[in-house]
Structure 1
């Protein structure tokens, strides 16, 4: 999940180009433990996310949210790792491009584990939420000040039947905000 942003900086009137991502997704659960959350992708050259404070200071954007994505890890005896959710608001007119896969083909679970959540991209423009983006790809979309883009990285698949998960681990996941009460009660 990669988002490229460009525009004219209100600070100096020069063209800027900024990249958000690759956003950390969750790894699938193992046979003996939960998957890792918000991981760095080694096949992307061991890239790391920039601190949001650095991005906000350098570019006309405001990170409304940068957090683990609740309910994104697949349920199982061992839970899939969580992806991330970023909501980035434009503070000046900007153009965005988003490239992402695995929107409709969510990371599957194994041995009775549930699939993790797929990647998702949403836009908030003119007060309206736009969620029906074809394959979550966005090409040269203009955002005006106050508009925002939401980038949701997928979670990993779970391992083993969810009903075999230790109840203490479920309670811990709910307390930490990894899993919502509603989803925990369903499973």
Structure 2
């Protein structure tokens, strides 16, 4: 039996670089890795506001989506602010129930640096510094064994390398589970240059 897929959690405050890091990790890894972005699922799919406490659907929805992708054989990168006050119980349950490797990373960036990075984005989100301050939680760690803190002094390449190697994904072959199920992908796999 092959090794179960890897679960990677990348967390941090708004503007910490977590989305850019997670996207680059997946790009460098290749096919077979699902990227689950908190902002997309919560804001776009559910159109749910943050801070709803026990009434929020997003925490169970995100971890349920991650679980479904893992069970289908995909490595999963789950990224977002994922505040412990709303997500810790769901994330810990996901981690404890996953039979494969788990790697948690927290981008620890000061509030001043998150503002600077936000201002330098190609497309900054339309929020004020005051709103970002309301969202900001200093060093909001999950407190699980092996959680890796990536300091703000780390550049993108260092953060991506830390996640790829710390999770073990750098040593795993990139291959979507699709070829084992899909005739079209099986046919493509036989063509030169198609994984």
TM-score, normalization by structure 1: 0.30
Higher relative contact order (CA 8 A, sep 6+): 2
Q: Which has the higher helix share?
A: 2
